[in-house]
Structure 1
Amino acid sequence: MAFAGKRSVLIIVENLPSPFDRRVWQEATTLHANGYQVAIICPTGKGYEARYEELDGIHIYRYKLPMEAEGALGYAIEYSAALFHSSRLAWKVLFRHGFDVIHACNPPDLLFVVGAFFKFLLGKRFLFDHHDINPELYEAKFGRRDFFYRLMVWLERLTFRTADVSIATNDSYKRIAVGRGGMDPDKVYVVRSGPKLDRLRVLPAVPELKQGRRFLVGYVGVMGAQEGIDLLLQSVRFVVHEMGRHDVHFGLVGGGTSLEQMKELACELGVADYVTFTGRVPDQQLLEMLNTADVCVNPDVANEMNDKSTMNKIMEYMALGKPIVQFDLTEGRVSAQEASLYAAKNDPVDLALKMIELLDDPERRARMGAYGRNRVVNELEWEYEAPKLLAAYERLYSAPALILEEDNL
């Protein structure tokens, strides 16, 4: 099918609102800057309640989810609602603005249903943006490989089979797209979530955030089960009560379903006075915390999901020139290299020891921070990834339409 007029894209994302979702917003603004008309369908969120707005030339349509999912039933309700609203709003975007391409960002691996409908009925193209490996995410959340895990694998395969082109956030995800998803490797483009330095600005420290202590360890991210905040708090307990270090404060930035539970755990461990939980905050407060931090930490649990995933927080720490401590995970090493120390997997004591090791060695901290900053500036910033996104779209528009054959399913 030939495309006439201005190229137009509909991006569908379920787990975060735009423009809060940085990867999606960077993709959308890059496409818009290169002549594409862009619309986004996403949920509402704190500070992003408007059902429609136009920002920087991008049309954003939002819907309200019935709940923040927790448990199998909660996810079933959330994803069913998201699929319904995404389908409904896709028709609205089609009639108001038109689109050639549906660019679907998981989770969940159900959005191919919307893509397949418009692809096979109206000849639209479908691009799958692989943010999370959902079978591994399910296993990380629920600790089992059962019927629902196998269902996730099947839905993932259907998603890849429907896609004309897919985008992977790293090489591990590309291997899954090709191996488990059956994608042609030439149609899988690795586009990393590189940070934008105009957002992640190096700012003066705010000493008050250290709560009168000498050092600050910073964290930014989701407060959820697989993020390992419980392990981090156990590390804090070891630092304070076993090592007798009362000169370290911990600033944890981010919200999530486990936030209140983690606050309670900090009290139970006797470290509440040493930890600041900010919840979800504006960028300025996030930047103040991270710029003040002497060391940044990533306690993501060592499991199949996290081992194969590139964490945005690692890139953000490096962009701000901060040395890192994290558990020893494959893609964590690929991203940070010499900007990080690597603790034994899921070992809160080793995590604590390595944080203190860095805090007590200012020269090493400076060297590691500079290495990470230079790596972002010269290799990992979004400006190096944007051409890969545009190349994926060129392939999408130039390739002949695909036919989904029964034996591919």
Structure 2
Amino acid sequence: MPHIFTRRVLILVENLPSPFDRRVWQEATTLHDNGYVVSIICPTGKGYEKEYEVVDGIHIYRYHLPFEAEGAKGYLIEYSVALFHTFRLAWKVQFSQGFDVIHACNPPDLLFLIGGFFKLFMRKKFLFDHHDINPELYEAKFGRRDFFYRLMVLFERWTFMTADISIATNESYKKIAIERGGMNPAKVFVVRSGPKLDRLRILSPKPELKRGRQYLVGYVGVMGAQEGIDLLLQSARYLIKDLGRSDVQFGLVGGGTSLDEMKQLATNIGIADFVTFTGRASDQELLEMLNTAEVCVNPDVANEMNDKSTMNKIMEYMALGKPIVQFDLTEGRVSAQEASLYARKNDPIDMALKIVQLLDDSGLRERMGEFGRNRVKNELEWQYEAPKLLAAYNAVFSDRNRQ
């Protein structure tokens, strides 16, 4: 793609380090491959401790967060520290690589403060990449619509007001951008989080991960309050204790604030020997677990947040040709279609029964897995989303050139 001038982008992300955050990294590498100079500001994380490095031509600036927040006060401290360091490092990028566009990935919905500053005083453009609907996320975490919920709605509105262009991960998020955020529909681009098949490789199973049992049920994702790991463990308990299925091991890949609590819950309900918790794992460990699993699960709690959100894990399961069991959520159905069975919302017993249905029917597993794999290859892989990202950027720079 020919450019009259070099296009320079600064990506802001607060909740995960790069290149660990897959969506952000796919966006960054796509932009770099199309001639953009790309810089990222993000926190440090396990295995990503360097304050500055260049990876695949992308400049990564990292800062240290004191702890992983829990509770309103914890988030206030975390976000304040993150904003301070992000603003500080943005100036460092400005005087080194430079940037024409700030690409802000939420949460939190406070990065508009930095984007707005550089837009007002430095004539930069601001692109908002809408990863989470924060008002619904707050409600999911704390179970209430109080002053802070209304504050989240206000921050979200101000973010959209500041944005020149916004990117939505699905049609539900696009609708929020237009109706609640007041965005012009022509300035909202849907860019789904499609997987890359060169990363999600189909490997030979590792039988030792089954711990001597016949079947493995796999999960990958965050161990947090709204991810429903407690519901999954209740499903496992029903399957093991009530249905007498001692032939099933559960492999749970991922870290998060609830990991220790979930390990204790597995012990308390007597199924600890049937559940493997890996904690945060490498790509290789993730691939080994999922490739070994006969069935993969998504126990995300049925709430407004999860109903409207597209979960990366669903696409990853499908890319590996795995049949899925999940609760019946709007965007979950949009993504998986016939690759999944859908349990009644927040019903761990029904989820257990759906898991057993798949474990006992290898033909159904094969058909569902093949459907999911083909859907990713033909419709959902990142190669189909990359042009939409580039279209959003062309809109940003077209608007910039008219000024």
Aligned to 1:41: 41
What residue number does 2:63 align with?
63
Once residues 158 and 105 of structure 1 are traced to their aligned partners in structure 2, the CA distance between those partners, rounded to angstroms, is: 15
* Matches of 2:162 and 2:224, distance apart in 1: 31
The whole-number CA distance in structure 1 between the counterparts of 2:15 and 2:89 is 16
Q: Map 1:275-354 to 2 at 5 A.
A: 275-354=275-354
Measured after TM superposition, the shift of residue 45 of structure 1 is 0.1
Q: Residues 339 and 369 of structure 1 are in contact (CA less than 8 Å); yes or no, is this contact kept in structure 2?
A: yes
CA contact (8 A) 2:125 2:400 kept: no
TM-score normalised by length of structure 1 = 0.97
- Correspondence for 1:150: 150
CA distance in 1, matches of 2:126, 2:312: 25
Deviations 1:9-40 (A, max 9, x none): 00000000000000000000000000000000
C-alpha displacement of 1:5: 2.5
CA shift digits 1:330-382 (9 cap, x unpaired): 00000000000000000000000000000000000000000000000000000
Q: Hey, what does 2:128 align to over in structure 1?
A: 128
Cα distance in 1 between the residues matched to 2:271 and 2:62 = 39
Give the partner amino acid of 1:252.
L
Aligned to 1:166: 166
Q: 1:255-290: per-residue Cα shift (whole Å, max 9, x none)?
A: 000000000000001000000000011110100000
Note closer, same or farther for the CA distance 1:402–1:311 as it changes in structure 2 (3 Å cut): farther
Q: Secondary structure at the match of 1:9?
A: strand
Please give the secondary structure, in 1, of the residue aligned with 2:117: helix
Partner of 2:397: 397
Structure 1 vs Structure 2: percent identity of aligned residues? 77
Indicate yes or no: 2:180 matched with 1:180: yes
User: For 2:129 and 2:92, how far apart are their aligned partners in 1?
Assistant: 22
Q: Tell me how far 1:4 sits from its aligned partner.
A: 6.4
Please state whether the residue corresponding to 1:301 is helix, strand or coil.
Answer: coil
2:203 counterpart of 1:241:
no
Conserved 8 A contact 1:128-1:165: yes
Who is 2:140 aligned against? 140
Deviation at 1:102, TM superposition (A): 0.2
Secondary structure of 1:96's counterpart equals coil
- The equivalent residue for 1:189 is 189
Q: What is the TM-score when the length of structure 2 is the normalising length?
A: 0.98
Aligned equivalents of 2:386, 2:97: Cα separation in 1: 24
Pick closer, same or farther for the CA change 1:94–1:400 going to 2, 3 Å: closer
User: In the aligned structure 2, how far is the partner of 1:191 from the partner of 1:335?
Assistant: 13
Query: Residue type matched to 2:202 in 1?
Result: V
Q: CA deviation at 1:67?
A: 1.0
Provide the secondary structure at the position in 1 that maps to 2:148. helix
Distance 2:142 2:247 in 1: 37
Distance 1:213 1:122 in 2: 61
Aligned AA for 2:262? M
Size of the aligned set, in residue pairs, is: 401
> Following TM superposition, where does structure 1 have runs of at least 4 consecutive aligned residues deviating by more than 3 angstroms?
400-403
Name the counterpart of 1:218.
218
Distance in 2 (CA, whole Å) between partners of 1:97 and 1:399 is: 22
Q: Is the 8 A contact 1:164 1:402 kept in 2?
A: no
- 1:59 to 1:43, Cα distance in 2 relative to 1, 3 A: same
Helix, strand or coil at the partner of 2:25:
helix
